[in-house]
Structures are given as C-alpha cells and as structure tokens.
Amino acid sequence: MERRVVIRHMAVAMAGLVLLPGCDIGSKKAKAQTLQPDLSPDQESLLAEVVDTFIPATDTPGAKDLNVHLFVQKMVKDCYEKEVQENLVKGLHTVEALAQKEYKSSFAALPEARRIDILTGMEQSDKEDQQAFFSLVKELTIFGYTTSEYVMTNLTGYTPIPGHYYGCVPLPKAA
C-alpha cells in the first residue's frame, strides 16, 4: 500500500470522528430534568428567618448574616430530587401557616422563643413531610454555616495550605 493512500484514509477517518458528534441521526437526546424554580422573594426571606432561628447572631454572625439561606436554596435546587425541592416550598408554607394559626403573626415577626416552638413542633410532628423539611433545613444550615468562609478562616483557624516546608535547614553535627 502506498503511503499517500494510508495518509488519505487516516485524514478521512479523523474528519469523520470530528464531525460525527455534530450529526443528529434521529436519536433521542437526553433532556435535563426541569428543576423547581428559585424561591420567591417572600419565601427566600422566610427561609432566611428559619436558618437564623437555627443559628442566631451572637458575638459572631448568624446564619442569616452569612447568607446561609442562599446556600440552602442552591443546594436543594442543584443536588436534590424534585420531591425534596417541592417539600422545601411546602415546608415554608407550613412554617408561615403555623405561625399564623398559633400566634396570629408572621414567622419573621415572632420572637425567637416562639420561632423555636414552631420549628420544634415540626420536628416532633407525626407528619413525615414536616420532619423531612426540618431535618433538611437544619442539616444544610449547619453544613453551610460551618463551611462558610467566615467560620473557616476566623473561628476554626483553617489554612488552605497546611504548614510551611523548610527545604534547607542546618543540621547539628553528629557527635
């Protein structure tokens, strides 16, 4: 076989490999799962109040101050199934409904003790969706807070590069 023929066949094969992914041969393409849309501004502020109830501000910033509610929203949207996303929205409606029913006020306007009562009631509820909402938001709040930049750098002393390497150090003479 001649060298030019082999080179021509290799060039045609390479061109085919480059062009093949762009060809639509009628196969069904995988479609991305449609995700729950972002929370409304009211739901987002309610979620901020819920995470602030879990970790309130003291001499250190609270979860709301570190925007942990945005972390919780992003994690649920990107990493959880549609049922969990829907349960987050339903749980936020439930929190507000319980505040209106028990205290005739919005959750955000309640003092901290009453907020804790509502969330504790959801945790101890016999309704599985309320328990799931409580545990999901609590776990993600703790995770988001403890891994935030502020906490990692100011409270835990995290250093991205541990220690320093001293390559050339003088050694004492052996006796």
Residue pLDDT, tens place only, 95-110: 999 999 999 999 999 9
Tell which wins on pLDDT, 13 or 144. 144
Residue 108 is classified by DSSP as: G
Residue 142 CB coordination number (10 Å): 15
Residue 123 within any structural domain of the chain: yes
Total count of domains within the chain: 1
Q: Which domain holds residue 65?
A: 41-155
Residue 1 within any structural domain of the chain: no
In 3D space, the residue among 68, 37, 36 whose CA is nearest the CA of residue 146 turns out to be 68
Residue 32 within any structural domain of the chain: no
- pTM for the model stands at 0.70
Residue 64 within any structural domain of the chain: yes
Residue 18 within any structural domain of the chain: no
End-to-end Cα spacing for the chain: 75
pLDDT at 30 over 80: no
What backbone phi and psi angles, to 5 degrees, belong to 114? -70, -35
pLDDT at residue number 133: 95
Q: What is the CA radius of gyration of the chain?
A: 28
Q: Alpha carbon 84 to chain centroid distance?
A: 13
Calpha distance 138→91 (Å, rounded): 12
Residue 141 within any structural domain of the chain: yes
Residue 24 within any structural domain of the chain: no
Percent of the chain scoring above 70 in pLDDT: 89
Residue 162 within any structural domain of the chain: no
